[in-house]
Amino acid sequence: MRVIDTHTEGEPTRVILEGGPDLGQGSVAQLAQRLAEQHPDFYTATLLEPRGHDAMVGALLVPNSRSDCCTGVIYFNPVGNLGMCGHATLGTVVALAHLGQLQPGTHRFETPVGVVEVELHDANTASVRNIESYRYRKNVAVEVPDVGNVTGDIAWGGNWFFLVKDSPVPLEFERIDDLTRVALRIKNALKQQGITGQDGAEVDHVELFGPPHRSDTDSRNFVLCPGGAYDRSPCGTGCSAKLACLAEDGLLKPDTTWIQESIINSIYTLSYKTGDKGGVIPTITGSAYVTAITELIFHAKDPYRYGITA
């Protein structure tokens, strides 16, 4: 399998260029469902140790079914598919530019949750116009064992997020283990108490906010991803969910800049336009860098061919 690795504001992406599973024909949403049903080991084999690590996100390039797109892409993490992924979209466009397959300008990717538009500004900087994002429920209270009562908003940015305005743990890099533990408890409590996104969808990302550390940003966040790793970047789909909440609360006007800082001090520059269905169309700008071009080898006798999972 030929892959190219990048990081976007610190968060890694592995783009599968060749050798991925043949998923046949159909929309990217259908191909993503087929990937989950027919290739359950693909996720751990490509992303986890000994070939990767649990913070990695994958981008499987697949044929697009829509003629206005240049490629289809299925984003995934070690535990399954993502609907959309902001940092991986930025990583993918920078990777394809590095390989000479895309030039600066505007490109469209078909994802399982809709078409996203990417503007490549230069070799390392791009903006993603995400799918329409919206807040589903405001001020939802959840009783979290060993943490207490936590209140947050549930919003969609291409994945489902529970957004907590005032993090119960200070957003310090040194507190990442505590932040991870608390965010995981919140996620588990949401599930146990039947608190979901629209149509019963699991809220599988938790986003904790606090005051910025840098003088040039508006807010700092910590984002827990579904596999239990934290997002090193400010999380593109999480920022989209945040913009939907800010817009609905009247705290940010369309076309106004919001700068979101991550737990490792990296940033996304964000803005939005009003969507057709009452939500927002977010734009996320950030930088990505290529870190490796690799061939992954899966030896038939390798006991960790499918990754280290136990």
Q: Which residues are catalytically annotated?
A: 85, 235
If one asks whether residue 280 binds ligand PYC (CB under 6 A), the answer comes out as no
**CB-count exposure of residue 229 (10 Å: 0-12, 13-18, 19+):** buried
Tell me the torsion sign for CA atoms 161, 167, 91, 134: positive
Residue 48 or 82: which CB sits closer to ligand PYC?
82
Min CB(234)–ligand PYC separation in Å: 8
Q: How far is 31 from 253, CA to CA, in rounded Å?
A: 37
Site string for ligand PYC, 46-85 (x = CB under 6 A): -----------x------------------------x--x
Residue 63 has, within 13 A of its CA and on its CB side, a CA count of 8
Site string for ligand PYC, 120-159 (x = CB under 6 A): ---------------------------------------x
Choose, by CB under 6 A, the member of 87, 107, 135, 220 that binds ligand PYC: 87
**CB-count exposure of residue 118 (10 Å: 0-12, 13-18, 19+):** buried
Residue 206 or 310: which CB sits closer to ligand PYC?
206
How far is residue 193 CA from its own chain's centroid? 25
According to CB under 6 A, which residues from 149 to 208 bind ligand PYC?
159
If one asks whether residue 116 binds ligand PYC (CB under 6 A), the answer comes out as no
Contact partners, residue 22, CB within 8 Å, separation at least 6: none
Min CB(87)–ligand PYC separation in Å: 4
**CB-count exposure of residue 182 (10 Å: 0-12, 13-18, 19+):** buried
Contact region with ligand PYC (CB under 6 A), list: 106-114, 148-156, 212-220, 230-238: 230-238
Choose, by CB under 6 A, the member of 5, 132, 153, 231 that binds ligand PYC: 231
Instruction: Say if strands 160-164 and 57-62 run parallel, antiparallel, or are unpaired.
Output: unpaired
Size of the site for ligand PYC (CB under 6 A): 13
Choose, by CB under 6 A, the member of 225, 243, 252, 288 that binds ligand PYC: 225
Residue 28 or 295: which CB sits closer to ligand PYC?
28
Residue 51 or 205: which CB sits closer to ligand PYC?
205
According to CB under 6 A, which residues from 3 to 32 bind ligand PYC?
11
Q: How far is 105 from 121, CA to CA, in rounded Å?
A: 7
Min CB(235)–ligand PYC separation in Å: 5
Structure tokens belonging to residue 249: 């609360």
SS3 29: helix
Q: How far is 77 from 292, CA to CA, in rounded Å?
A: 19
Q: Which residues bind ligand PYC (CB under 6 A)?
A: 11, 57, 82, 85-87, 159, 225, 231, 233, 235-237
